[in-house]
Amino acid sequence: MPDPTDPLAAPALMARAQDAVGKHAALLEPLARLFADRGETLYMVGGSVRDAMLGRGVHDLDFTTSARPEVIQEILTEWGEKVWDTGIEFGTVSAIRHGETVEITTFRSDLYDGVTRNPEVTFGDTLEGDLVRRDFACNAMAIELSLNDELRLSPTFHDPVDGLADLVQQVLDTPQEPEVSFRDDPLRMLRAARFVSQLGFTVADRVFAAMRDMAPEIGRITAERVQAELDKLMLGARPWEGIDLLVATGLAEHILPEIPALQLETDEHMQHKDVYRHSLTVLRQATELEDEGPDLKLRWAALMHDIGKPATRAPKEGGGVTFHHHEVVGAKMARKRLKALKYPKHVITDVGQLVFLHMRFHGFGEGQWTDSAVRRYVTDAGELLPKLHKLVRADSTTRNAKKAARLQRTYDHLEERIADIAAKEDLARVRPDLDGNEIMQILGLKPGPEVGKAWKYLKELRLERGELDHDEAVAELKAWWEKEHA
């Protein structure tokens, strides 16, 4: 990121953007010529320019143009290898060439009804009119793909709403009054939190105030669109800061009410750690433990692992509080919230299970993990075990350095026990020592509920005692059957 106090910061950012265009010159120069031949102007715009300036790499090539949609389509048909016109009614046509995708949209000057976020699409005639309707000034800069006398690319920078200054200062502000921008499209308030997470920016004071005052407007947005923005926020570099902005402005009350509810009041008789701040810390520490890129399920579990605490909070005799079974309550709450946000079933199930299991480790003291407990821990976690390891470690946030070190050592010991037992047994597939066919043959049963009960008994026996040889398993099954039917 640039140093905001450096007077050369702005020129350096502009140079980065020019370089990014130059790197794509072989692709973009023929495109610029085709537009120029039609008497039309073409501008790289939005996140493409912003990300180029920030050195984040330009992965999406987005453009705006004076050309109307049918002209864009004709040009791209000549230039590209494949063309998509699914967005043509909104002025957008896309194409791919040499593995690069471009998306080009006619200047827009949309009108909003203030009820939905769907505008009445109106095409504009000026670049300035198009840029001023965008969400944030740092996303409202443009680079014109102009040509010199030799018809070579000669990019020209346009910044009518002073987005470059915001980029240098790392602040999010709106081109228009934020109240106007957010009334047009309330989703922009979530986008502010998303960019805080992705870019590490802060929001301007007037943007914060508008988000706070207009938070109920987010109710105009569908759950699917909210989920899409939350995903981008949660997968950003600093998701805890994006969440904190949602809570501070009151937006979270409308889309994630369980999170601000963690801001429990404390008094001299019921002291406890700040559950809300603790949850943000766990989210941060979980991201630091990721070893294969951002993990959406781990991050959601880290944020929501304690949401059952407000509902289970109770005074403890002698002072303090308890949160008995908050992981059980929290798992149900997490599943309910994610379902309301239209998340796919596998996300709902896995996040709920991680929340449910996150306290299992704390139920055992140092050195008290029996082989049976280890098997159950691994079996219940299943494929989520690597995520559970990270979640539990991230949850060790005590300020007591000795206690924190002891917790980490204890978990190290648990992982060693898992590895030791896994080396002897196939923990990934803990199954009864006898299968259903053998159970039916030994007990003279036909398929039915009794076979399932017998299978479940042998599964529990397997978890408790480890692998049994065949004769021992048969004897245990027969003994159980006789007791059941005594």
Position 368 confidence tier, pLDDT thresholds 50, 70, 90: low
Position 271 confidence tier, pLDDT thresholds 50, 70, 90: very low
* Average pLDDT of every residue of the chain: 86
Domain boundary at 116, 150, 169, which?
Answer: 169
pLDDT average, residue stretch 88-102? 92
Quick check: 229 pLDDT over 60?
A: yes
Domain boundary at 110, 141, 169, which?
Answer: 169
Tens of pLDDT, residue by residue over 175-199, are: 999 999 999 999 999 999 999 999 9
pLDDT average, residue stretch 136-144? 95
Position 355 confidence tier, pLDDT thresholds 50, 70, 90: very high
Please give the DSSP secondary-structure letter assigned to residue 123: B
C-alpha pair distances (Å), 9 with each of 13, 22, 129, 243? 6, 20, 27, 29
Quick check: 386 pLDDT over 60?
A: yes
H/E segment holding residue 203: strand 202-203
In this prediction, residue 203 carries a pLDDT of 98
pLDDT average, residue stretch 304-318? 87
Tokens (6 digits) for 134: 């965008």
C-alpha pair distances (Å), 466 with each of 176, 361, 420, 425? 67, 20, 13, 8
CB 436 within 8 A of CB 451: yes
Distance CA 36, CA 40 (A): 5
Name which residue leads in pLDDT, 485 or 205: 205
In this prediction, residue 4 carries a pLDDT of 55
Please give the DSSP secondary-structure letter assigned to residue 114: S
Quick check: 138 pLDDT over 70?
A: yes
Distance CA 480, CA 434 (A): 14
Residue 365 lies in a domain: no
In this prediction, residue 265 carries a pLDDT of 55
- Residue partners of 485: CB distance under 8 A and separation at least 6: none
Q: Which of 111-125, 370-384, 461-475 has the highest mean pLDDT?
A: 370-384
Position 365 confidence tier, pLDDT thresholds 50, 70, 90: low
Q: How far apart are the first and last CA of the chain?
A: 76
Residue 107 lies in a domain: yes
CATH of the domain at 51: 3.30.460.10
Domain boundary at 149, 169, 189, which?
Answer: 169
In this prediction, residue 126 carries a pLDDT of 93
In this prediction, residue 406 carries a pLDDT of 77
* Total residue length of the chain: 486
Residue 218 lies in a domain: no
Which structural domain, as residue segments, surrounds residue 444? 432-484
Residue 73 lies in a domain: yes
Residue 145 lies in a domain: yes
Bridge partners of 45, per DSSP, are 142
Distance CA 418, CA 413 (A): 9
Distance CA 120, CA 81 (A): 32
Q: Give the chain's domain count.
A: 2
Residue 149 lies in a domain: yes
pLDDT average, residue stretch 411-429? 70
Distance CA 187, CA 182 (A): 7
In this prediction, residue 115 carries a pLDDT of 64
Quick check: 429 pLDDT over 60?
A: no
| DSSP code string of 304-361 | HTTTTHHHH-EE-TTSSEE-TTHHHHHHHHHHHHHHHTT--HHHHHHHHHHHHHTTGG
Distance CA 284, CA 275 (A): 14
pLDDT average, residue stretch 404-419? 79
CB 307 within 8 A of CB 261: yes
Q: Using alpha carbons, select from 87, 92, 90 the residue that is nearest to residue 72.
A: 92
Position 480 confidence tier, pLDDT thresholds 50, 70, 90: confident
CB 297 within 8 A of CB 350: yes
pLDDT average, residue stretch 478-484? 81
Q: Using alpha carbons, select from 82, 78, 146, 133 the residue that is nearest to residue 105.
A: 133
Residue 60 lies in a domain: yes
Residue 443 lies in a domain: yes
Q: What are φ and ψ of residue 94, in 5° steps?
A: -125, 155
Buried b vs exposed e over 462-473: b needs ≥16 C-beta within 10 Å?
bbeeeebeeeeb
In this prediction, residue 113 carries a pLDDT of 58
Least trusted range by pLDDT, from 115-124, 372-381, 442-451: 115-124
Q: What are φ and ψ of residue 82, in 5° steps?
A: -150, 140
